[in-house]
Every structure is written in structure tokens, then in C-alpha cells.
Amino acid sequence: MNEKQKACKVLVLISGRGSNMAALLKTQGSYFVEAVLSDRAEAPGLAIAAEAKVPVVESFSRTDYPTKHQQKLAIYSRVRALNPELICLAGFMQILESDFVDEFYGRIINIHPSLLPNLPGLDTHRRALESNFAVHGCSVHFVDGGMDTGPLIAQCRVEVQPCETEGVLAERVLAREHMVYPWVCEQIAKGAIRLDRSSAADRGRVSFAPEAVAESNRLGIHLCR
Ligand code: GRF
């Protein structure tokens, strides 16, 4: 078995630019991105994935399906066929349906540009500035059926500068996203971050191996314990 075959198989779902997906591609080692799926044929991230020779790069355009629900079912069915060990949402602009989330619960993670539970949803940088937040940032979490909810894994804080523009703040947060998302993915692949559950009804508790804790301190990553 070669290194790629041994690595944790990751599937990335995107809708747009794909910069977090690109960051995940750069840091492969313990995990291997075997598929990138998009719900938009025009997502710029698709070309990046194809260029990086990701084995499966596919889009499921809304216009190819009679309803949005059927589009979602097509995406879910492809994900099931590929049976990834980990699904990374990277700017995927759809709420996953609860049956699908239940089926893959504990194997789906998301990156969000705010310190959750603050500011779920869109326009987080503008809202952080409007609310005069002194500190903003990004979060990685396991996905449940809600919008930007589910057990938190890790966060990076960014201090808001006086008179900072939305664009500059967004860039500074994005730089942290590109560091923390691959790191979390790597730790999950190595078994150093886990979601422990006592039953299917239990949403679970995130646990961290000592080496993940030590490394997070060095990298300025806050683990959500
Ligand atoms: C990122 O800010 C991510 O946190 C959010 O959507 C944006 C996607 O950007 N979920 P990109 O497509 O990864 O560049």
C-alpha cells in the first residue's frame, strides 16, 4: 500500500472560489483529497482542483435538476458512492439535509469566518465591524443539521484594528482559515482529534490528544474543549 492509499480519504464540497480547498490540497499527508464536488458548475475552485489532479472533480449544477431537492440528492448519492472518511465543507453554500447529516455525522466538518456561536450565516466581517467587535476570527466545527452549528473543534482569533475595512479584515481572517482548516483535517486523519459519542442520539464531545494540544499552542490555535 502506498502513502496515498494509507491516508484518510477526504471529499471537499465547494460552491465558489475554493481558497480553503486549495489550502487543504497543499497540506495533504495524513489525509488525501480524493474528490472535490461543487453545486455550481462555474465555481472557480473546480479549475484549481482539476489543475491539482484531484482524482474526482465534478459539478452538480442546479439547472441540470428539476428541483433543488433533486440536485441535493444527486450530490448525496455521489458522496455515498465515494464513501469518504471525512467530508470538508469549504464555502459550500447549502444547508445539508438532516438525513444526510445523520448518516455522516462525525465525518463532516465546516470552516466558518467568525468565532462561533457568534455570527452564524453570511457577511460575518461586516457584521463584526458594525457590532464593534474587538476580536473576530474563524471556527472549525463538526456539522449538524443547523446553520453553522455542531460541536466546535478549533478557533483562531483575529484582533480587529481601529478603522479596519471589511476587505482587510476578511483577508486577515482568511489567512487564519487557510492555516487552521488543514491542521484540523490532519489531526482528525491522525486520530488526534475525535468526536466521542455515547449513543447515536448524543451529539458528542470533541477530544484532543496531547500532541494536538501542544501543537495548537505553538500555532496560536484555540481548541474548543
Ligand atoms: C470562507 O470564508 C469560509 O470560511 C466560508 O466561506 C468562505 C469560502 O471561501 N465558509 P473559499 O471558497 O474557501 O475561498
Give 171-217 pLDDT, tens digit per residue: 999 999 999 999 999 999 999 999 999 988 899 999 999 999 999 99
Nearest protein Cα to ligand 1, atom 2: 113
User: What is residue 3's predicted lDDT score, i.e. its pLDDT?
Assistant: 74
Q: How far is the CA of 163 from the centre of ligand 1 (A)?
A: 24
DSSP the chain: --HHHHSEEEEEEESS--HHHHHHHHT-SSEEEEEEEES-TT-THHHHHHHTT-SEEEE--GGGSSSHHHHHHHHHHHHHHH--SEEEESS--SPPPHHHHHHHTTSEEEEESS-TTSS-SS-HHHHHHHTT-SEEEEEEEE--SSSS-S-EEEEEEEEPPTT--HHHHHHHHHHHHHHHHHHHHHHHHHTSEEEE-SSTT---EEEE-HHHHHHHHHHTPEE--
- Count of other CB atoms within 10 angstroms of residue 16: 18
The cell numbers describing 123, all together, are 457577511
What is the Cα–Cα distance from 197 to 155, expressed in whole angstroms? 22
Predicted confidence pLDDT, tens digits, the chain (225 residues): 677 778 999 999 999 999 999 999 999 999 999 999 999 999 999 999 999 999 999 999 999 999 999 999 999 999 999 999 999 999 999 999 999 999 999 999 999 999 999 999 999 999 999 999 999 999 999 999 999 999 999 999 999 999 999 999 999 999 999 999 999 999 999 999 999 999 888 999 999 999 999 999 999 999 999
Answer for the pair 114, 122: CB distance below 8 angstroms, yes or no.
Answer: no
Answer for the pair 109, 184: CB distance below 8 angstroms, yes or no.
Answer: yes
Residue at 172: amino acid letter: R
Nearest protein Cα to ligand 1, atom 9: 91
Of ligand 1's atoms, which has the minimum distance to the CA of residue 92? 10
pTM > 0.85 = yes
Of ligand 1's atoms, which has the minimum distance to the CA of residue 15? 12
User: What is residue 153's predicted lDDT score, i.e. its pLDDT?
Assistant: 98
Choose the residue to mutate in 15, 20, 109, 118 for probing ligand 1, maximizing ligand atoms within 8 Å of C-beta.
20
Q: How far is the CA of 112 from the centre of ligand 1 (A)?
A: 7
Angle value at C-alpha 11, between 192 and 69, nearest 5 degrees: 125
Catalytic residues: 112
Of ligand 1's atoms, which has the minimum distance to the CA of residue 112? 4
From the CB of 139, is ligand 1 less than 6 Å away?
no
Q: How far is the CA of 218 from the centre of ligand 1 (A)?
A: 24
From the CB of 40, is ligand 1 less than 6 Å away?
no
What is the total residue count of the chain? Answer: 225
Q: How far is the CA of 198 from the centre of ligand 1 (A)?
A: 32
Q: Which residues are CB-contacts of 42 (< 8 A; sequence separation ≥ 6)?
A: none
User: What is residue 6's predicted lDDT score, i.e. its pLDDT?
Assistant: 81
User: What is residue 221's predicted lDDT score, i.e. its pLDDT?
Assistant: 98
User: What is residue 1's predicted lDDT score, i.e. its pLDDT?
Assistant: 65
